[in-house]
Structure 1
Amino acid sequence: MRLLTIMVAMMLATPVVARASDPVSVVLKPAGIFDGVDGKVHAGWQVIVTGDKIVAVGADLPVPAGAQIIDLAGDTLMPGMIEGHSHLFLHPYNETTWDDQVLHEPLALRTARAVANAKATLLAGFTSERDLGTEGAGFADVGLKAAIDQGIVPGPRLSVATRAIVALGAYGPKGFEPGVVIPQGAEEVSGVDQIVAAVRRQIAAGADWIKLYADYRWRPGEESHATLSLEEMQAAVAAGHDAGRPVAVHAATAEGMRRAVAAGVDTIEHGYGGTQEIFASMAAKHIALCPTLAASDATARYRGWNGSEPAPPSVELNRTSFRLALAAGVPICMGGDVGVFAHGSNAREIELLVAAGMKPAQALIAATWGNARWLHLSDRVGAVKPGLLADLIAVEGDPTVNVGAVRHVRLVMKGGHILPDSAGIGMPRL
């Protein structure tokens, strides 16, 4: 008994030595921290990361024994940005038209390109991304997400929508002999039973989000018209929400937007036809708008616009609807419809939000904590605060003064792991 007492006493008196398998702490020391929540840059703050989580944030933090210290003098540390509207399986339309991508590019080619697009997006500082449709590439986004999650290829944390759901005959490609079966860029439905079945089929295949088209062009060159009925959208939303899946809706007309709002969707994409009344309804129901300013800007440039003012009508319409939404207090989702323009240049949307009337800090919040909330990710990412995943980036300068600083990413950390390609700072996986 006396021997056992001595042994216990010796064990209690012996200092605990960290095992080789214990995670190493990392201390990030930037010039300041934009935490994503309050819109300020906090000078002198530091962050301690252990494993894949943020464990401490603030000034004059005690440095854990054996911690790796990374000096980011002159840089602002902020949450990894979140892309709200992308298509990783598309590439810019001035390279290859949408029709040709859907009809003629092999799935293996499109998937290989999507892998490269995912890496470019991550290196640009976007550590999470909502991909809203594979545009003819089936369920390949589910496989890409799995490859990223398993560490096979680098990329953002993906939320995927698989195949968008459209009204029968209302999408594309078009322009072929009537009756000839042509591969489509989305899943076609007609009626409540079919749309509910499509929603459930996609959820079973791995969809995190459901993407609907409330309106589109029935024939090439026509104006957009409402396509899915209110009853169809209500049924799709109910089926999605029953399974815990939020619903995003492409809506470019006033009627399409009215139906989407009435159906209780979670986000509306584009919103070009929005009115004060519609945006007031969206604000009251906390439905976020992804204005995709960069998409209309890019397509106008492909058609010959050189960027000078006055802007083409399509660009001005997009700006006007965004300003109406902003004035109405609609939550703004930062999403550029990337794929229409080059992956990795996602920050283009943030700059255009500021140019159209948002303050830099507002646009940065939209790209971080705002998107985390609207996209149902706020329990994991979107802010620099203890307990969240260590998805962090460092940018050169102060982005709240010059929002263009988000294009100058000096370091990317995802889940506590610094990408060597992002800053030349090698570090073992924690």
Structure 2
Amino acid sequence: MNRLLLKTLFPSLLLGMSAAAFAATEQLSIVSNGETVGSIVVEGEGDRATVDYRVDNNGRGPKHREELTFGAGGIPTAWTIKGTSLMGGTVDESYRWSAGRAQWSSQADQGSAKAKQPPLYVVNDDSPYAIWVYARAALAQPDHSIAVLPAGRIALEQLRTLTVGEGDAATEVTAWRLTGVQLNPSYLLLDKDRKLFALFGPGADGTTIRAGHEAAVPMLGKLGAELETERAFQLQQKLAHRFDTPVRIRNVRVFDPASGALSPLSTVVVMRDTITQVIADDRLPQPEDEVVIDGEGGTLYPGLHDMHSHATLPSGLMYLAAGVTATRDMGNDNGFLQDLLSKIDAGQVAWPRIVPNGFIEGRSPYSARFGFIPASVDEALKDVRWYADRGYAEIKIYNSMNPDWVKPIAAEAHRLGLRVTGHVPAFDTPDRVIADGYDSIAHLNQLMLGWILRPEEDSRTPLRLTAMARAGSLDLASDKVQATVRLMKQRNIALDTTAVTLEQLMMSRARQVPMGQEDFLSHMPIGFQRYRKRSFVTIADKAEADAYQAGYDKMLETIAMLHKAGIRLLPGTDDATGFSVQREVELYVKAGLTPAEALRAATLGAEEFLGRADRLGSIARGKLADLVLVPGDPTRDISAIRRPRMVMKGGVIYFPTEIYTALGITPFTTAPAIRPAAKVAAREDAGGDAVGFGYGEHFHGD
């Protein structure tokens, strides 16, 4: 393994003391799926440190150099970062505090603030070392919480003490959870001197661990899962609401994805996880022994779908708050996903329904490090059988797969009843993978690259995204394009588009709120806000910016052309915020679909593809209760889907206001009025005790 050399982590953490010179040398490694994928080198002298940070994973990764000067309490008074970000965009960030004023400049923003003492600045392009800097500053506060620049507050929570390693290598460490920087928390292990021993969990890019302890990485994976599961259990108990009595949702207009129309004001009744009644023009008295929710004239539609997701434990609540009740997992750590599916089935964690895909990658320097990476075609067929035995719906093939292996993999998958999807492997073509057995293609750019790239160009690199800048000149009426479209139509090939991810990449501009994120970004944690307000690719001049704009426009034209040709479009995101699903649906409308057509694709259309339209995808008697309540009419203004007031998944009710508050996000709307059933208690879906409601008409949670 490559190892990470860390020279001095400034052990002096006492209040009022500056970081002192320290001659210690430590080595750490950054590990993903059992392989080293990155390195950091930190060199310290006096109150200064330099940090070289590098990650190479899946053909991409941040690579930059940090220079820091520390003041009292270990808080930086100067911090510069130069290099490239995840997808190769330029990083050039600086921060300085002097004479009572803090000033900063980054891709996200520039600004200044008066401060008598050095404040803690949250950088736009951080590293594991930066996370430790934040944690150390929070540790120095009595309540382990500290305000940060440009805005917000971070907090550190002590979790448990444990020993890592055995014998002379045994090290006693304490686990901490850091929140307030990004959507997901970071988990750190600090030794007795409060130096960084490891960084792991959903907020980390791989696991960073001190050299000599790499064998402990699997243990840290289990520890991270355990700590995050404890948090998820607590949130489910607090936020999930199930009732033992019918739930009557009245005064709503029901969206029918088959017709694209809204009903007159109606009532929908749910008992446990099933819709029992859909009543138009309901004028009967409301039963006293039922929970009644007043939709106040809003719209009730089936839950949305993310048809290209990669599940993490904390992302479930974000999905549900956005009205997403089903996902198609397009590749994951196999052990993690199996465990998550069990927890979802048991009602222990808040998560949409998941349809799992089995990830199979080829071996190359660019390999993605999860799922299976078989060494031979026979091994790949064995992996297909592993997925089939565990109930996976599809096999997903990735960038580095040998094109000659696609056909036998697809044949084995089909023999066992699984569909086949994925990227178009490097040096392969969409036409060939369809002929070899693909049932759908993942990502609009993977389809379009077949019309853009030259045969010798390598799509395992970021070129698979940046080449979309060439798309503007593409003739969609050309023979090569239309031949592929005809083949897709003949073979009934679907496409999960992930247009929102392409928009984030192609249209990102430094210091600008990204397109489609204007109405939610300011509600998010400060680190998330600033990371999104950046250029994810290098844009050297106006010509290059114009090329990306033209490529983006062509992307939307392609969506419209495929829809008109009758190709099934599956809204997907390759993201996990939930907001991205809403934007994906909006992009379909921007491309030319009607709002009703876009909503159909994200609801009933997705379930038709998944083969579950008999029980999901529309609101009808006898179907499972996956529902979303929003104000307004999304068939007229698709942006109405951005304001869910209530989300129901299998009869379990979630109020987005409660979810966002619990996750440190400013809520967007209010919960609907609710009348508890007379003399009937509620029980929490996660196994909590029965709780009666002793308050007024608005439900406020437990």
| Coarse TM-score class (shorter-chain normalised) | 0.7 to 0.9
Partner residue in 2 for 1:12: none
User: Partner of 2:434 in structure 1?
Assistant: 261
**Separation of aligned partners in 2, 1:64 and 1:389:** 23
Query: Structure 2 matches for 1:33-72, cutoff 5 A?
Result: 33-61=254-282, 65=287, 66-72=289-295
1:121 maps to 2:319: yes
Q: 1:62-92: per-residue Cα shift (whole Å, max 9, x none)?
A: 678533322101310000111111122xxxx
Aligned residue-pair number? 357
1:211 to 396, 410, 415: 396
> Quick one: distance in 1 between partners of 2:395 and 2:600?
25
* Pairing 1:143–2:339 present: yes
Q: Which amino acid aligns with 2:356?
A: V
Which whole-Å CA distance do the structure 2 matches of 1:252 and 1:321 have between them?
21
Displacement of 1:191 after TM fit?
A: 5.1
Distance 1:266 1:297, change over 3 A: same
Q: Which has the higher strand share?
A: 2
1:36 shift after superposition = 2.3
TM-score of the superposition, structure 1-length normalised? 0.75
Shift of 1:152: 1.2
User: 1:221 maps to which residue?
Assistant: none
Contact 2:246-2:271 at 8 Å conserved across structures: yes
Which string of whole-angstrom CA distances, capped at 9 and with x for unpartnered residues, describes residues 275-306 of structure 1?
22212221232221111101111123456495
Q: CA deviation at 1:44?
A: 1.5
More moved, 52-61 vs 310-319: 310-319
Match of 1:279 among 485, 490, 507: 485
Q: Secondary structure at the match of 1:155?
A: coil
Residues in 1 aligned to 2:494 and 2:653: alpha-carbon distance in whole angstroms = 32
Q: Which amino acid aligns with 1:272?
A: M
Q: 1:193 and 2:389 equivalent? A: no
Give yes or no for the alignment of 1:379 onto 2:614.
yes
Aligned match of 2:633: 398
Matched AA of 1:235: P
Are the counterparts in 2 of residues 118 and 155 from structure 1 also a CA contact under 8 Å? yes
Matches within 5 A, 1:66-85: 66-85=289-308
Matched, 1:407 2:642: yes
Per the alignment, residue 330 of structure 2 pairs with 132
Q: 1:345-356 to 2 correspondence within 5 Å?
A: 345-356=580-591
Whole-Å separation in 2 of the counterparts to 1:30 and 1:285 = 44
The amino acid across from 2:589 in the alignment is V
Residue identity matched to 2:337:
D
Which residue, out of 169, 175, 181, partners 2:364? 169
Residue 521 of structure 2: aligned partner: none
Q: Which moves more between the two structures, 185-194 or 289-298?
A: 185-194
Distance 1:170 1:40 in 2: 51
Instruction: Check the 8 A contact 2:585/2:602 in 1, yes or no.
Output: yes
Query: Counterparts of 1:391 and 1:211 in 2: how far apart (Å)?
Result: 27
Report if the CA contact (8 A) 1:253-1:273 is conserved.
no
Measured after TM superposition, the shift of residue 60 of structure 1 is 3.6
Retained in 1: the 8 A contact 2:305–2:581? no
Query: Deviation digits for residues 20-78 of structure 1, max 9, x if unmatched?
Result: xx952222124311022211111223212122111222414567853332210131000
Code of the residue aligned with 1:385 in structure 2: it is A
C-alpha distance in 2 between matches for 1:344 and 1:196:
37
Mean CA deviation greater in 25-34 or 419-428: 419-428
User: Could you say what secondary structure the match of 1:380 adopts?
Assistant: coil
SS in structure 1 opposite 2:448?
Answer: coil
2:555 to 310, 318, 327: 318
Aligned equivalent of 1:338: 575
1:77 aligned counterpart, secondary structure: strand
Q: Which amino acid aligns with 2:339?
A: G
Q: Equivalents in 2 of 1:35, 1:170: separation in Å?
A: 48
Q: Supply the AA of the counterpart residue of 2:361.
A: V
Query: Over residues 207-245 of structure 1, what are the superposed CA-to-partner deviations in whole Å (9 max), with x where a residue is unaligned?
Result: 3331112xx3x7xxxxxxxx543x532322232233332
Q: Which runs of no fewer than 5 residues in structure 1 stay unpaired?
A: 1-21, 89-113, 174-183, 219-226
Amino acid at match of 1:153: V
Question: Which range moves more in the overlay, 275-284 or 409-418?
Answer: 275-284
Q: Is the 8 A contact 2:320 2:578 kept in 1?
A: no
Determine if the alignment matches structure 1 residue 246 to structure 2 residue 401.
Answer: no
Q: Residues of 2 paired with 1:186 and 1:302: CA distance?
A: 30
Residue aligned with 2:263, SS: strand
Identity in percent: 31
Partners in 2 of 1:313 and 1:172 — Cα distance? 31
Unaligned stretches of 5+ residues in structure 2: 1-242, 451-480, 516-544, 660-670, 677-681, 686-702
CA shift for structure 1 position 385: 1.2
Picking from 585, 596, 601, the partner of 1:366 is 601
Task: Tell whether the 8 Å contact from 1:78 to 1:383 is kept in structure 2 after alignment.
Answer: yes
Partners of 1:27 and 1:285 in 2: CA distance: 44
Determine the structure 2 residue equivalent to 1:86: 309
Residue aligned with 1:43, SS:
coil
Separation in structure 2 between the aligned mates of residue 305 and residue 291 of structure 1, nearest angstrom: 27
- Conserved in 1, the CA contact under 8 Å of 2:327 and 2:354? yes
Q: TM-score normalized by structure 2? A: 0.47
Query: What residue is the counterpart of 1:8 in the other structure?
Result: none
Q: Which amino acid aligns with 2:494?
A: A
- The alignment status of 1:24 with 2:220, answered yes or no, reads no
SS at the partner of 1:346? helix
Answer yes or no: is the 8 Å Cα contact 1:276–1:325 preserved in 2.
no
Q: CA–CA distance in 1 between the matches of 2:362 and 2:426?
A: 15
SS for the counterpart of 1:74 is coil
C-alpha displacement at 1:375, in angstroms? Answer: 2.1
- Name the aligned partner's letter for residue 405 of structure 2: E
